[in-house]
Amino acid sequence: MGVKSYCYKSVYNSVVDSFTFNDIEFIDYQWQVYKMYDNKPSIAILPGPLNAVGAKPTSGFRSLNGTDQQLFDIPQSPTQTTSSLQITSTTDIRYHAGATNTLFRNLTASNFSSYTGGFTINFATGSVNYTAAYVADYSIRGNLIFDAQPRLISNLISNQTGKSSFETLDNPYAREWTQSGTRTGLGRVSQNNNTRHETILTGSNPLPNSDFFTIFGQYHSHGLDFLDKGNDGTVLIPLLPGDQLYKAGSTTNFMALSRGNTVRVRLGEGSKDSLLTELGLDQYALTQTWDVDNENAAVGRVAFTTIANGGNVVLNDQIITIPTGSTLNQVVDAFNKQSPFTGVIASIGSNAVLKLSPRNGKSFNFTSAFVDLNQTYGSTFSHGIFLREYKANGDLTGAMLTGSNNGIARWTDLKNNALQIGLVIHDIDVSSVPLVEVIPVGKPGAGRLGFVTLNKISGEKGYIFDTALLTADSVLVKSGSAFMIDLANNWRGATRPAGESQFNANGDLKDASVLNLHTVGGDGRANENLGLTSLHQIFANAHNAILEQLEVNISEYQKLNRGFTMSFKNTHVASPPI
C-alpha cells in the first residue's frame, strides 16, 4: 500500500505536479478498454488496481468528433438502472448529439420573420432611402436582404461614443459594489473597491480580470461551435444619416453580413452516375434561391424496387454506400443512418419513389460541441492526425506538434510532420482538411493512412498519399474541417502577372512566405488574433509538459513494478487513440 500511494516530486514545469501509481494504472486501464475491448466498457472485465467487476460505464477513449461522448442518458429518477440508460445504438440520435458536423440543437421553434417597408441602398449614388414597398423575408435564402434594424438596435444599446440612448451616465467617483456586497452607485466593478477616478490616480487595474481573460473566452467558445457561411445570401445593413460611420456621397454606406448556411440536399461529385439514375436523382439540381418554409425535398423521378448496381452517393459531403440488390426500404435506411451528419431525412414518396427532405433552416456545427479541447486536438479524426508529432518511422511520440524552440507549430511544420507518416499535403489544401482513413485489407497500402478519393463516374473509393496525385476522373473527399479559416489577405504571396496562377502545378504557392508564417491548431481560427494564437500555444505546450511528467513517473513506477508495461507505448499512427 505504501508503494501505491507514493508520489514523486515534479521534475518538469507541468500543470500536474506528479502522477501517482494509481493514476498511471488508471490511464493504462482506459487504453485497454479502448484497444482490447473495442472501446465497449460494458464488456470489459479487467483485473488490476481498480478492482472492477466490470469496467466503469464511461471508461475508454472518445472520438475526436464527439460521436460517442454520450454513452449514457441522464437519469430521470433515482430508481433508473444503468442498463436502462445506456445508449447502445449508433442510430440513436443521442449517440451523435453534439458531434462534429451535426446540426445545432434548437431550444425554440424556428421563426423567420418578414416585413414590408424598409431602408434600401442605391448602389449608383450610394444614397439610402426608405422604400415603402420593399419586402424583407428572412425565410428566403440565397438572396440579398436590406435591413437597417441591426445597426439601429446596436446603436441604442452601445454606440461606442461613451454613452447611448439606453446608457446611464457613468459616475467616475461611484463604486458599483461595496466590499460588503451591496450596490451603492452607478460606477464600475472593482476588485479593490476603487472608483474609476481612484484607479486613474493609482494606475492599478480596477477589474478582477484582464483583457486576456476575454481572449480566453474566445478560445473557449471556439471549442463549442463554428457555423459556415456564404451560401445563404447576404444581409446589407444601410447606414443612416446621423450614424457616425455615415459619409455623405459615399457609395459604401452599408455593412455586409454573410448569412449562416442552412441544410440543403447537395449531391456531390464522386456519386456513382448510374446509381443516381436508378435512384431517379440524376436530374436533380439546386435552385439559386429557396424558401425554408417550404419542403425543398429532392424527389426521385422514377420508382424502383431494388438497386441493380450499387455504389456510393455523396450527400452533403458524407459518403453513403448503397449495396447492390438493396430494396427501396433498405435505401431509405442507408440514407437515414447518416442523417445526423447529412441533415437529410429519407422517406418513400408517392408512387414508390425516393424522397430526400432537408432539415430546413437548420445549420451544421463544424466543431465538437463538448468542452474537450478540440481547439488543441481537432474536431475530426483526419485533422487530429496532422497535429500529433511523429518519429521518422511513423510512430507517435505522444506529443502535440510544435515548432522551433517548442513554439507553436507553423504551416511548414505541419507539412513536414505529415511526411513522417507518408502523407503529402500542399498549400492548396490549407482551407480544407482531406479525409484520411486507414486503408482496408485488400487494397494497395492496407494498414497505412491514405487520403480518400472517389471516382466521378463509378463512385468507387480509392486512396492516394499525395493530394497532388489526384487524377482528373476523381475527387478528393474532404473531412469537414479546415487547417486554417482566418488567413492574411496576402496569404497567397506576391501578386503574379495577369492570368498567371499563384499556385504551382502540384498545388504549392510560388511564394509561400506569408502562408508559412501562419500557425496551426485544432481550430482553423487560431490566426485570428495574437492573443488567441498565444492560447493555442499555451495548451499545446501544457499537453507536452504533462507528457514529460507522465514519462518520468512511469519510469519510476516500472523500476518498482518490473512486470508493469504501459499498453499504449510505441503506438503506430495507423491505430492511434482518437
The answer as to whether 168 is a domain residue is yes
Local confidence band at 108 (pLDDT 50, 70, 90 cut-offs) = confident
The answer as to whether 26 is a domain residue is yes
Given a cut of 60, whether residue 6 has pLDDT beyond it is: no
pLDDT of the residue at 11: 45
What CATH number corresponds to the domain at position 324? Answer: 3.30.70
Outline where 403-472 has alpha helix (H). Answer: 411-419
**Domain shared by 159 and 288, yes or no:** no
Query: Bigger pLDDT: 138 or 83?
Result: 138
Given a cut of 50, whether residue 99 has pLDDT beyond it is: yes
- pLDDT-wise least confident of 74-78, 405-409, 499-503, 572-576: 572-576
Question: What value does the mean pLDDT take over residues 250-262?
Answer: 93
Question: Do the beta carbons of residue 438 and residue 572 sit within 8 Å?
Answer: no
Given a cut of 70, whether residue 225 has pLDDT beyond it is: yes
The answer as to whether 458 is a domain residue is no
Q: How far apart are CA 340 and CA 99, in angstroms?
A: 9
**Domain shared by 220 and 332, yes or no:** no
Question: What value does the mean pLDDT take over residues 295-311?
Answer: 95
Q: How far apart are CA 6 and CA 290, in angstroms?
A: 66
Residue that finishes a domain, picked among 364, 381, 412: 364
Question: What value does the mean pLDDT take over residues 137-147?
Answer: 95
- pLDDT-wise least confident of 28-42, 201-215, 299-313, 529-543: 201-215
Question: What value does the mean pLDDT take over residues 176-199?
Answer: 47
What does the mean pLDDT of the chain come to?
A: 83
The answer as to whether 455 is a domain residue is no
pLDDT of the residue at 98: 87
Query: Bigger pLDDT: 26 or 448?
Result: 448
**Domain shared by 168 and 139, yes or no:** yes
Query: Cell digits for 535?
Result: 492560447
pLDDT of the residue at 406: 81
Computed on alpha carbons and rounded to an integer, the radius of gyration of the chain in Å comes to: 28
Given a cut of 80, whether residue 251 has pLDDT beyond it is: yes
Q: What is the pTM of this model?
A: 0.83
Query: Bigger pLDDT: 563 or 203?
Result: 563
**Domain shared by 250 and 331, yes or no:** no
Question: What value does the mean pLDDT take over residues 292-321?
Answer: 94
Given a cut of 80, whether residue 149 has pLDDT beyond it is: yes
pLDDT of the residue at 8: 39
Beta strand pairing call for 114-121 and 388-390: unpaired
Residue that finishes a domain, picked among 237, 260, 283: 260
pLDDT of the residue at 125: 85
**Domain shared by 120 and 230, yes or no:** yes
Question: What value does the mean pLDDT take over residues 231-244?
Answer: 92
Q: How far apart are CA 378 and CA 91, in angstroms?
A: 24
Q: Which of 37-46, 188-197, 401-410, 506-515 has the highest mean pLDDT?
A: 506-515
**Vertex 351: Cα angle to 346 and 357 (nearest 5):** 25
What domain count does the chain have? 3
**Domain shared by 301 and 352, yes or no:** yes
Order of strands across the sheet with 143-146?
143-146, 229-238, 254-260
The answer as to whether 16 is a domain residue is yes
Query: Bigger pLDDT: 222 or 193?
Result: 222
Question: What value does the mean pLDDT take over residues 486-507?
Answer: 94
Query: Cell digits for 469?
Result: 496525385
Q: What is the pLDDT of residues 533-542, one digit of tens each?
A: 999 999 999 9
pLDDT of the residue at 64: 87
Q: How far apart are CA 42 and CA 70, in angstroms?
A: 14
**Vertex 552: Cα angle to 550 and 553 (nearest 5):** 65
pLDDT of the residue at 271: 94
pLDDT of the residue at 352: 92
C-beta atoms surrounding 237 within 10 Å? 21
Query: Cell digits for 81?
Result: 438502472
Given a cut of 50, whether residue 311 has pLDDT beyond it is: yes
Local confidence band at 52 (pLDDT 50, 70, 90 cut-offs) = very low
The fraction of the chain above a pLDDT of 70, given in percent, is: 78
pLDDT of the residue at 516: 96
Question: What value does the mean pLDDT take over residues 100-117?
Answer: 88
- pLDDT-wise least confident of 129-138, 549-558, 565-574: 565-574
Question: What value does the mean pLDDT take over residues 518-535?
Answer: 95
Report which residue type is found at 457: I
**Domain shared by 160 and 210, yes or no:** yes
Outline where 522-577 has alpha helix (H). Answer: 530-560
**Domain shared by 243 and 144, yes or no:** yes
pLDDT of the residue at 241: 87
Beta strand pairing call for 436-438 and 449-455: antiparallel
Query: Bigger pLDDT: 371 or 4?
Result: 371
**Sheet strands (E) in 248-301:** 254-260, 290-291, 298-299
C-beta atoms surrounding 471 within 10 Å? 11
Which domain does 125 fall in, by range? Answer: 114-260
Local confidence band at 569 (pLDDT 50, 70, 90 cut-offs) = low
**Domain shared by 8 and 46, yes or no:** yes
Q: What is the pLDDT of residues 336-349, one digit of tens each?
A: 999 999 999 999 99
**Domain shared by 85 and 36, yes or no:** yes
Question: Do the beta carbons of residue 355 and residue 297 sit within 8 Å?
Answer: yes
Local confidence band at 191 (pLDDT 50, 70, 90 cut-offs) = very low
The answer as to whether 494 is a domain residue is no
The answer as to whether 200 is a domain residue is yes
Q: How far apart are CA 448 and CA 439, in angstroms?
A: 6
Of 542, 559, 531, 550, the residue nearest 218 (C-alpha): 531
Given a cut of 70, whether residue 168 has pLDDT beyond it is: no
Query: Cell digits for 563?
Result: 512486470
Cell 488490476 maps to which residue?
48
SS3 state of residue 330: helix
Of 211, 218, 207, 64, the residue nearest 535 (C-alpha): 218
Cell 518519429 maps to which residue?
391
Given a cut of 60, whether residue 240 has pLDDT beyond it is: yes
The answer as to whether 460 is a domain residue is no
**Domain shared by 94 and 130, yes or no:** no
**Domain shared by 76 and 150, yes or no:** no
Residue 125, Cβ density class (10 Å: 0-12 exposed, 13-18 middle, ≥19 buried): exposed
